[in-house]
Amino acid sequence: MNRTLSQLLRVVIQNNLKSWEECFPFIKFAYNRAINSTNNVSPFEIVYGFNSLTHIDLIPLLLEEMVILDGEKKTKMVRQIQEKFQLQIKKRNILHISKANKGCKQVIFQPSD
């Protein structure tokens, strides 16, 4: 995450190093809406359930339908989202393991070996 943010800062700010504080909210927004290759969703979508395209898309968050005031409902929604993405991450890890172990021979060692 730090490497990605530093690269975004470098690209946006370029030679004007004194303006990084003004650009940071836009860079943070860009990072939060970028789709992650591990789970195929953005950090924003994991938290709110949809991926915002622009800052204007955040206006519905102020409406009652998007804001869940009941703690139990919010907890249940967050748990469902987390379980969904944990399964996606596990599937992605299995895919990475199978690619990394391609062509390797599985050897099972006995205690006396």
Any domain includes 42: yes
One domain, residues 57 and 94: yes
Per-residue model confidence (pLDDT) at position 47: 75
Per-residue model confidence (pLDDT) at position 113: 80
Q: Give residue-wise pLDDT tens across range 37-83.
A: 777 778 877 777 777 666 655 555 555 445 556 677 777 877 887 88
Model confidence, pTM: 0.50
One domain, residues 30 and 40: no
One domain, residues 27 and 68: no
Residue with tokens 């990072």: 31
What's the one-letter identity of residue 31? Y
Residue with tokens 């102020």: 62
Per-residue model confidence (pLDDT) at position 59: 56
Q: Give residue-wise pLDDT tens across range 8-40.
A: 777 777 777 777 777 778 778 888 888 877 777
One domain, residues 93 and 43: yes
CA distance 6 to 90: 28
One domain, residues 82 and 96: yes
Per-residue model confidence (pLDDT) at position 7: 78
Specify the DSSP element, H or E, that contains 4: helix 2-13
Domain that holds residue 92: 36-100
Strands (E), the chain: none
One domain, residues 42 and 94: yes
CA distance 78 to 72: 10
Question: Which of 72, 76, 89, 82 is closest to 47 using CA atoms?
Answer: 82
Per-residue model confidence (pLDDT) at position 112: 86
One domain, residues 28 and 2: yes
- Domain tally, the chain: 2
One domain, residues 40 and 90: yes
Per-residue model confidence (pLDDT) at position 42: 82
